[in-house]
Amino acid sequence: MRIFHLHAGGVRELESLPTQLPAQGFFWVACARPAFQSQLSGIQHMLQSLTGIQLVELHISDLLNPQLPSHYDYTSQYDLLVFRRLASASSTVPSSQPDTPSSPPRKHNGPPVLRRIDTNPVGFAVFDQIVLTVHPNDCSVREAYAARLLATAATMGVETSDGRIVGAGQGTRLPTGTADLMLRLVNLMVDGYLDLRRELTRQLDHWQSELLKPRTRFVNWNALLDTRLALHHLDEICEDQRSAIQDWIDALQTWPAPATAAELRERDLLQVRSRDVLEHIERVVHHVRRLEQSTETTVQMHFSVQSNRTNDIMRTLTALTAVFLPLNLIAGIFGMNFEFLPLIHRQHGFWWAMGAMLVMALSLIVFFWRKRYLANTPREPMH
């Protein structure tokens, strides 16, 4: 568990749960799911003493559930947001402190990029001066943002646990409130989906070029099927994320009107950041659906090319069969066991028959060639 006190002057990391609300700023209590479960009574006692309310039992179940989809809920005292982030590589490795029981990880037979589509939920309980975040066991998002937070605050002056101020200068603005911090963390998670989108695009572009090569036999059908299923799964995840953020934006519209111009500006910035997060999610959804359509179109084009190639082969074989059919008829006639047949007893009969067969074959070949029965179907160059 990591606890931070954020205020306009900097950031201070605490060693234990706070016992009173800060004079300025707010607290960020970030813990892994097992730590949240083991220290639940202490966290509830802290919330009761600082805010006068505890987490609802159903919300505690939501925060502890590792399979819960993204969604938003609220009470009169706090807001609850569950947002699924991409699972890091380390999350698949057993740790010394096991997470809550969950279903077995999904198995992928395709490229390594598919393994990154597995997700874990991150829970946010947002109070006026406290934001509680519950992360998976690895807490990679928490550590990444905490490092960024401290690096940003270092230019403004960081207050250490012993009260010393380290660093000075002007830097990027720190989060102004609990909701602002939550949206920044969510935006960090959405950036992972944007990076995954580029990796999926490169992999699918490679497979599409292999599918459209007329002389190449494509064999990665299992990997391609896994990729299409993964894209469907990613689409569902992003749809849940978009619904959760949209519910948050709708709830933000119902907040009481700000009393001062500064509060009004902070509210406007909060709405802008919320819409920005929603726009990033919609970009991922749009791109995933475009990849699905592109993959489906490429597969159809592959089978169309194979069908056209098969038709060319069958047309050529049919034309050749038509060329040899009259020749076989002539050979069959002269192979009959009759005593009197034309040209049988003539000295040059064989050559007359061969000449007639050759002329007939050449005539049929020229005829079929002019009809383009023996010509390959012209293909447009692939770009």
295 and 316 belong to one structural domain: no
pLDDT in tens, 195-208: 777 777 777 777 77
Residues 340 and 288 in one domain: no
Residue 120 DSSP code: E
The verdict on 133 and 275 lying in the same domain is yes
Indicate whether 275 and 333 sit together in one domain: no
Same domain, 86 and 200: yes
Shared domain for 275 and 318, answered yes or no, is no
Q: The domain that contains 60 carries what CATH number?
A: 3.30.460.20
Tell me 374's DSSP state: S
- Taking the C-alpha atoms of residue 100 and residue 109, their distance in angstroms, rounded to an integer, is 26
* Domains: count for the chain: 2
pLDDT of residue 231: 79
Q: What is the DSSP-derived secondary structure letter of residue 97?
A: S
Out of 303, 325, 348, a domain closes at: 303
- Residue 234 domain-assigned? yes
pLDDT bin (cut points 50, 70, 90) of residue 168 is very low
Domain boundary among 252, 283, 303: 303
- Indicate whether 294 and 148 sit together in one domain: yes
Q: Measured on CA atoms in the order 297, 301, 304, 310, is the torsion positive or negative?
A: negative
User: Are 217 and 364 found together in one domain?
Assistant: no
What is the share, in percent, of the chain residues with pLDDT greater than 70?
83
Query: pLDDT tens digits for 2-58?
Result: 899 988 778 888 888 888 888 888 999 999 999 999 999 999 999 999 988 999 999
> DSSP string covering 147-213, please?
HHHHHHHHTT-EE-TTS-EE--S--SPPP-SHHHHHHHHHHHHHHHHHHHHHHHHHHHHHHHHHHT-
**Residue that terminates a domain, selected from 270, 285, 303:** 303
339 phi, psi to nearest 5 deg = -75, -35
Same domain, 83 and 48: yes
pTM: 0.70
Q: Is 321's pLDDT higher than 90?
A: no
| CA torsion, ordered 314, 318, 319, 325, to nearest 10 deg | 160
b/e map 319-354, b = 16+ CB within 10 Å: beeebeeeeeeeeeeeeeeeeeeeeeeeeeeeeebe
Q: Domain span at residue 143?
A: 2-91+101-303
CB atoms within 10 A of CB 138: 19
Q: Which residue has the higher pLDDT, 358 or 113?
A: 358
Query: Which amino acid is located at 241 in the chain?
Result: Q
Summarised one tens digit per residue, pLDDT across range 88-102 is 544 433 333 444 444
* Structural tokens at position 3: 């606890």
